[in-house]
Amino acid sequence: MKNTFFSLVGTVLILALTGWPYLGVKASDLPDYKNPQLPIEKRVEDLLSRMTLEEKVAQLQCYVRADALRKIGPQGIGGLGCILRPYSAKEAAERLNEIQSFMVKQTRLGIPILMHDEALHGLLGNKATSFPQSIAMAATWDPELVYEEAKAIATEVKSRGIRQVLSPTINIARDIRWGRTEETYGEDPYLTSRMAVAFCKAFEEMGVVTTPKHYAANIGDGGRDSNPVHFSERLMREIYLPAFEACVREAGARSIMSAYNSYDGTPCSSNKWLLTDLLRKEWGFQGFVVSDYGAVSGIMYMHHTAGTEKETAAQALSAGLDVELPNVEMYGDALLEAVKEGLVSEEILNESVRRVLRVKFQLGLFENPFADPTEAERVNDSPEHRALARKAGQKAIVLLKNEGDVLPLSKGIKSIAVIGPLANTVRLGGYSGWGMKTVSLVEGIQNAVPNAKIYSAPGVASLDAMGYPPIPSEYLFTPDGKQNGLLGEYYDNPKLEGKPTLVRIDKNIEFAWGDGSPDPKLKPDRFSIRWTGKLKAPVSGSYRLIAVT
């Protein structure tokens, strides 16, 4: 089915080239919020005064699924995220233009969206330049290089019409067992602060909103991600909060992402001390707070500090959490009802909407929300950016040992053995894009010493290399033994409670829903499944079964 959002290219090109969506109209004849000659605060208040309750709530909503675009009604929506990833730079800019054109022309007030994505060490997208991961950049001890790198990333991001990045990750990594250590600038709060400020400054100067995350201290005992923390306030202020404060005070970060975990018993996403008292009243933060993906729902489903969706929405908004990511769960009907029933005041809602609108005006989205597809194609993965990535990679390398002067490699060397699971596989790091030219370790060494014989072996087995395929359906049977596969009972809650919303036979248990859902009847990432049936081995013997999540 052709998407109506992607059918307005001709109109969009004219608007994008002029940078002025109100052709033939004098600024003085426009509503105040559409008049760029007026102060931003006046424009914010004028627009807010025209908005219905539904339109206000919509500005605090987001979707990251392309099919959800069809759900956007005349009230519009605040933001979209990640839906441009499959496209080349040029195609992404074209798609963005079509979406923005729809928002400007087809919604009642014509409020443009704020498109977001990940850009930790390069845009997470098709054919964007990939730079060294954050932990490698920390090893350079060079904030100026981080600033230069971030400028390049911001150029590519903005060229596609993406105006908010969910980066950088500035948690303090003090337990190597934490699986996201690579995303950080390491264990030192001062070094992390300097690198984070350089990163955020570069993006903000380019007109791309940064979102330092995860606020705050999201590493529990034993390196457990997003587990509860019970640190003293002094420890928080000395170790885990300085980088966030620096990003706000020095770099002008215009967004912050709340964390999944609780701090001292209160979820970070409904923690008034973190989101309002400290962030806004003490540090002077003027931007908007977004939730980590699904963190608002986690108030109810993971932390159990709210009993209903209405209470969940009210707790989060009252504490100072402005925008729910990634999809509409608690900031939909639940938030509307919470406001109508007085669980949270409309003035608190208004303040959150002001924060979102203010940033959209600051970015100039009401004047020109469009991107230039030709420019996007030119700057993404450009020779200049690839050269900068190479420079950063060279500076990030830390040589710990060089026994026997193995390095640099001698041109006369006859053979080299490269041992490791990534010898022939290029892994760029978490939140990496794809589609660009990469060089494996074996290829790189062969290029350096073309006359040498290069041997490689994985050394240790990985799950992929060990070859554990999904169990074929011919060995799986429903409880009654009449069909191949397992009986799947899908519940619209995470606790297998009540009657299943969906019952079906699943031939194999091999799914990758991510933040999505197996069926429109089920809320994304908020469902549970019970599979029942029998496994019949082809022959008697010992078997090893594994589960990978």
Query: In whole angstroms, what is the distance from residue 316 CA to residue 141 CA?
Result: 38
> Looking at residue 90, what is its pLDDT?
98
Would the pLDDT of 336 be above 50?
yes
Query: In whole angstroms, what is the distance from residue 436 CA to residue 445 CA?
Result: 20
Q: Name which of 221-225, 273-277, 394-398 the model is least confident about.
A: 221-225
Token code pair at residue 97: 């233009």
Would the pLDDT of 121 be above 60?
yes
- Residue keyed to tokens 């300085």: 242
Q: Name which of 3-7, 245-249, 443-447 the model is least confident about.
A: 3-7
Would the pLDDT of 28 be above 60?
yes
pLDDT band at residue 469 under the 50/70/90 scheme = confident
H-helix or E-strand containing 100? helix 89-106
The overall average pLDDT reported for the chain is: 92
> Looking at residue 24, what is its pLDDT?
62
Burial class (CB in 10 A: 0-12, 13-18, 19+), 383: exposed
Q: Which of 225, 180, 210 is nearest to 429 (CA)?
A: 180
Query: What average pLDDT does the segment 322-347 reach?
Result: 97
CB 60 within 8 A of CB 334: no
Would the pLDDT of 468 be above 80?
no
> Looking at residue 9, what is its pLDDT?
40
Query: What average pLDDT does the segment 42-46 reach?
Result: 98
Strand partners, 187: none
CB 180 within 8 A of CB 169: yes
> Looking at residue 26, what is its pLDDT?
74
> Looking at residue 29, what is its pLDDT?
82
Q: Name which of 212-226, 247-261, 370-384 the model is least confident about.
A: 212-226
State the pTM of this model.
Answer: 0.88
Query: What average pLDDT does the segment 305-326 reach?
Result: 98
Give the single-character DSSP code of 33: G
Q: Name which of 21-35, 127-141, 164-178, 344-358 the model is least confident about.
A: 21-35
| Residues labelled as active-site residues | 292
Higher-confidence position of 523 and 58: 58
Higher-confidence position of 544 and 166: 166
Give the whole-number percent of the chain exceeding pLDDT 90. Answer: 80
Query: In whole angstroms, what is the distance from residue 123 CA to residue 126 CA?
Result: 8
Would the pLDDT of 58 be above 70?
yes
Taking CA atoms, 286 is separated from 34, 249, 354, 380, 466, in Å, by: 22, 10, 10, 31, 51
pLDDT band at residue 495 under the 50/70/90 scheme = confident
Query: In whole angstroms, what is the distance from residue 388 CA to residue 525 CA?
Result: 38
CB 133 within 8 A of CB 393: no
Would the pLDDT of 486 be above 90?
yes
**Residue 41 identity (one-letter amino acid):** E
**Cis, peptide link before residue 259, omega less than 30° from 0:** no
Q: Name which of 23-32, 417-426, 485-494 the model is least confident about.
A: 23-32
What would the pLDDT profile of 350-364 be if each residue is shown by its tens digit? 999 999 999 999 999
All domains of the chain in start order, with CATH: 35-365 (3.20.20.300), 403-463 (no CATH), 473-535 (no CATH)
Query: In whole angstroms, what is the distance from residue 195 CA to residue 147 CA?
Result: 8
